[in-house]
Chain A
Amino acid sequence: MLDELDRRLLRLLQADPGRGVPDLAEAVGSTPARVTRRLDQLRAAGVLLGSRTLIDWRALGYAVAVSLRITLDKTQSRAFDDFLAAARLVPEVIEIQTFLGRVDVRLSLIARDLADYQRIYREQILELPHIADIEALMTVATVKGDESLPL
């Protein structure tokens, strides 16, 4: 379980992952040695996994983002494994999630424009194995996107 110091450190790092240990120590009223030890413990426990750089795909010319909600043909025992393995080979797929619910799998797909989306959809997505149904939600705007945990 996380204690109050863990939560405060993680909140600060969620807001700014580049924040250094001396700065964190000052913000929480502790010593750099103690903060370093805590962060090491959080890493060892698998809570803190590191950080990654975010890419703005629009700056690279990918103006279209689509969320594809897919239902698989579950009469096929290998439906999930086959589908996921093939979906990983589509370069424009940037996220893959599996669910319990009406939707089995969701793919986040990016494309340069609608013509490019149409091409990827027809040539690569509809070719993926064991699809029973597919629905597309096109992203108009991201209202909130920081994915922070309410620690």
Chain B
Amino acid sequence: MTDPISRGLLPEGFRDRLAPRAAAADRLVRTLCDRITAHGYDLVQPPLAEFEDSLIGRLSDGGAQDLLRVIDPVSQRTLAIRSDITPQAGRIAATRLAHRPRPLRLSYAGPVLSVRPPQVGAERERMQIGAELIGHDSVAAAGEILTVALEALTAAGCADLSVDLTLPSLVEELAEADWPVDNLDAVRAALDGKDHASLIAAGGAAYAPLIEAAGPAASAIPALRAAGMGAAFDRRLDAAEALTARASGLARVTVDPTERRGFEFQTWLGFSLFAGGIASEIGRGGTYIVRHPGGAEEPAIGFSLYIDGLVQAGLGRRKTRRIFLPHGTDAGVGTALRADGWVTVAALSGSDDAEANACTHIWTGEPAAL
């Protein structure tokens, strides 16, 4: 009888990350954080777990179902492990930093946990890195957030970036204005799947041009203008056009007016980020509302990146020169080599050898390649 747990079996969706991927992940986190903080986004470190109530009020319904909960033996209240750091940044902005002038720029990096594995992929623990700009959700704020995200991803080695802009509140507002429907839920479900046949069946034929318009910004924006949604919505297209111009030096831009999945918490703007060679989305963001304890509301915009796809794609790796110092090598040699960027592995006894320590070089009075 062998017990699988004694052999290191981990729960579904969790993994050990070893060399060289652990180092790559660490390097990616540092690169992304450096680029984000360089734009004035102060790093904050919220805790791994909070009172459930504090997280739930700031998450979408789906997010609330994703929380792993435990009863805190100390307070006898329900604690939850965060599934997203964004609401924690919002909480900090609305409480401890409520007195600070706006806009407030915050950044963060840390692991998050979901109870349910995603439909595609299996990870339940992910590393989230992000930035939040609190106090503004203007086109200028959106332009800054998009630029910061794309610059950081480029620095991390992502190539062939693309941004998909979406207008999360559009359908609901259109339904309240000039495009009424009997069953909004059915129409939205059909739009989520871009399911033309179900959309017609749900009585949402008016919305079909919005599915067909989705695509490259250069063709999507004119097609949406032609759809005749009304002047109030034209302003949103102007914004999409301005953001396209701002982002197009760093990424290809597509526009998808009806995308809502994962944007339940967003207001007028949402976006998803993709990179060449990585099959799934690598990050997302958008505008949202931060709620203050007194009930006041504040506009905000931000983005989150998840590095697991980047690590999987082999980004963040660096070739290291790793040199073996035979037993008895003078300590000063190692100090000088490390100062010069070498990784040194010192023999503990005469029987240690370079190969077993995965070294690329050996010290023979000078570095000699193996």
Partners in one complex: no
